[in-house]
């Protein structure tokens, strides 16, 4: 019996030596949890602004990983920090917040419904048009919409209508699906993004893709029926996250053919509505500051009261030659925050109305006007004003001889 025990011991010895000779790197040691964690958390409005909810993870268990889902239907976001998290809800409502926890033994989750009783008071008026115009081609320029040198051009509107009465629009021609695009480099996206809107005219039936992320496998498609202008709205609510990469606004079609786009807007809760000052309203019968150089301008009866301008009195300029006179308000109000100047105008002859804000008379912005009815012109100044040049005035004049009537002049930031 003793011999048998000794023999068994000898047989086991090589195995013991082999096991003991293995290093920790070959056989890593770790703790495997045997009990699943229990999920729990608190959700408390922040004292300074109750639209921010402070989330504190109070789950129990060992070796826990955690992830938050800030509202029903959203994706989970991994919680990498032991510090409390914060969820932001800009609008009043009820939001389901879910915490998911897990370890080697299993997982657990719990949900709390958070009630937000107010819209964030730090945000602009929700009834205002919280949009930034990023594509308006009335000046005949493509602007930044060919940031890669794409073959896009500004052309006459192929079919003016109530949806889009603009004179000029951007044209893309695709010989193959997705072979061309219009691309604007962007730095304005925030988690408060609401939507991007685009007026579009297709000559062939297809879809228009909007892409804001660098991955070309991403994007949002909307179908377009050919032959008429339509306004597309791409919903961006919840699509933009902090720290994400959103380098551009890229637009392209999914079929070969001609595409026309115009009036492209980016809308977000944190974009303030245009703050406009009325700087030309002549109902008091006075020219005010609009003859800074003693120009021959006068306040007269509205020559054609209509829906475009119901004012009783307007400012009149008479030009015996092109650019012979002007209306000039020599008060420096234009700043880098400028967004636009709008003017109601009535021409007795077809022509263009020039807006000039720099001293150099070779500069300016022209918009065409058809004679015989009031129209509102919008001069887009977004990105046109810098901190180094001087902008001493707002000067308005026509490019042809004749009578011009202007009214309701607004400067907006």
Q: Roughly how many angstroms between the first and final C-alpha of the chain, as a whole number?
A: 102
* Nearest CA-CA partner of 110 in 39, 36, 59, 35: 39
41-116 domain in CATH 2.60.120.460? no
**pLDDT score at 39:** 96
pLDDT score of 180: 87
Are 131-268 and 276-412 the same fold in CATH? yes
Phi-psi region for residue 94, left (φ > 0), alpha (ψ -120 to 50) or beta? beta
What predicted TM-score, i.e. pTM, was given to this entire model? 0.45
Nearest Cα residue to 236 out of 265, 280, 268: 268
Where the chain has pLDDT below 50, the residues are: 1-28
Contact 258, 203 (CB under 8 A): yes
d(CA 266, CA 234): 10
Q: d(Cα 210, Cα 252) in Å, to the nearest integer?
A: 7
Name residue 341's beta-bridge partners: 379, 411
Class of domain 131-268: mainly beta
What is residue 23's predicted lDDT score, i.e. its pLDDT? 46
- pLDDT, residue 18, reads 36
- Contact criterion met (CB below 8 Å) for 103 and 61: yes
Q: Distance between CA atoms of 77 and 100, rounded to whole angstroms?
A: 10
* Residues in the chain, overall count: 413
Asked if residues 297 and 290 have their Cβ atoms less than 8 Å apart, the reply is: yes
H or E stretch at 336: none
- Give the 3-state secondary structure percentages of the chain, helix then strand then coil, rounded to 5: 5, 45, 50
Q: What is the CATH number of domain 276-412?
A: 2.60.120.260
pLDDT at 412: 87
58: CB partners within 8 A, 6+ apart? 40, 41, 42
Q: State the pLDDT at residue 114.
A: 95
Could you give the C-alpha distances from 365 to 7, 263, 379, in angstroms and in order?
Answer: 104, 18, 7
| Domain locations along the chain | 41-116, 131-268, 276-412
């Amino acid at each position: 019996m003793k011999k048998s025990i000794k023999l068994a011991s000898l047989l086991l010895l090589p195995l013991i030596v082999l096991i003991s000779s293995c290093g920790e790197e070959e056989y890593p040691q770790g703790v495997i949890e045997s009990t699943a964690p229990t999920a729990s958390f608190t959700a408390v409005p922040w004292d300074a602004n109750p639209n921010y909810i402070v989330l504190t993870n109070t789950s129990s268990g060992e070796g826990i990983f955690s992830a938050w889902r800030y509202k029903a239907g959203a994706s989970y976001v991994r919680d990498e920090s032991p510090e409390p998290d914060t969820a932001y809800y800009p609008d009043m409502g009820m939001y389901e917040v879910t915490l998911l926890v897990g370890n080697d033994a299993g997982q657990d989750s719990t949900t709390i419904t958070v009630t937000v009783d107010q819209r964030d008071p730090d945000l602009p008026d929700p009834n205002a048009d919280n949009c930034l115009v990023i594509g308006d081609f009335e000046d005949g320029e493509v602007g930044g919409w060919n940031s890669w040198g794409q073959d896009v051009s500004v052309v006459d509107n192929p079919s003016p209508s109530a949806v889009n009465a603009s004179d000029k629009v951007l044209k893309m021609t695709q010989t193959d699906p997705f072979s061309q695009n219009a691309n604007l480099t962007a730095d304005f996206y925030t988690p408060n993004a609401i939507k991007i809107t685009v007026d579009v005219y297709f000559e062939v039936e297809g879809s228009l893709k909007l892409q804001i992320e660098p991955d070309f496998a991403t994007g949002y498609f909307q179908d377009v029926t050919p032959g008429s202008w339509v306004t597309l709205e791409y919903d961006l609510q919840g699509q933009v996250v902090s720290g994400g990469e959103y380098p551009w606004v890229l637009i392209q079609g999914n079929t070969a053919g001609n595409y026309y786009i115009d009036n492209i807007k980016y809308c977000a809760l944190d974009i303030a509505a245009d703050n406009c000052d009325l700087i030309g309203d002549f109902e008091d019968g006075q020219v005010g500051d609009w003859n800074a150089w003693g120009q021959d301008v006068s306040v007269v009866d509205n020559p054609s009261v209509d829906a475009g301008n119901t004012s009783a009195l307007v400012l009149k300029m008479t030009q015996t030659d092109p650019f012979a006179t002007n209306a000039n308000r020599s008060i420096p109000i234009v700043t880098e925050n400028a967004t636009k100047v709008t003017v109601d105008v009535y021409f007795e002859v077809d022509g263009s109305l020039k807006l000039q804000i720099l001293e150099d008379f070779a500069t300016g912005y022209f918009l065409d006007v058809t004679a015989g009815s009031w129209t509102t012109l919008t001069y887009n100044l977004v990105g046109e004003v810098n901190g180094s040049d001087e902008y001493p005035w707002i000067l308005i004049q026509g490019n042809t001889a004749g009578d011009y009537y202007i009214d309701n002049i607004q400067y907006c930031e």
